[in-house]
Amino acid sequence: MTFYTDMASVATKLVTQYGKAMSLQRVSGATIDPVTGVASGGTTDTIAVTGLITKISGADIQRVMALSGGAERLSGSEVVVKLTAAVEPQLTDRLVDGSDTYEIIHVGETNPAGTAIVYSLIARRVS
């Protein structure tokens, strides 16, 4: 094993130990209305993931603002989610944690030397 593979293993153990089972809902085969951004048609796949939800920090807020050029407005219902590197989340996915559903607004990856260690999401609760 390489150093980064060992780091990925430790990250997975920590997220599994302190996190919980969640799921990603991924729509495939859908068409997206370019005006509303709403997907229609297609099938929804549910992908099991393990994640850890934390409060959003000032640094995370600044990162979202910088990435969106200031266009992304935060509502106060955003959280930071750390996911194991088992599944790569996409911006079009929905994260489901029990009865709460989150829209993913940013996906970050800790990926030194091409080895995915952990995914960091900024997500907004929608229900």
CATH class assigned to 3-125: mainly beta
**Dihedral pair phi/psi, residue 91, rounded to 5°:** -60, -25
Chunked into runs of 10 residues, the chain (127 residues) has average pLDDT values of: 86 93 89 78 90 84 68 73 94 94 91 90 90
Give me the residue spans of the domains in the chain.
3-125
Distance, CA of 109 to CA of 95 (rounded, Å): 16
Question: DSSP assignment of 67-99, as one string?
Answer: HTTT-PPP-S-EEEEEEETTS---TT-EEEETT
> Which residues make Cβ contacts (< 8 Å) with residue 63, sequence separation at least 6?
106, 122
Cα dihedral 25, 103, 78, 71 sign? positive
Nearest to 120 by CA among 81, 93, 90, 62: 81
Percentage helix, strand, coil for the chain under 3-state DSSP, each rounded to 5? 25, 45, 35
Instruction: Annotate 21-40 with DSSP letters as a single string.
Output: EEEEEEEES-EE-TTT--EE
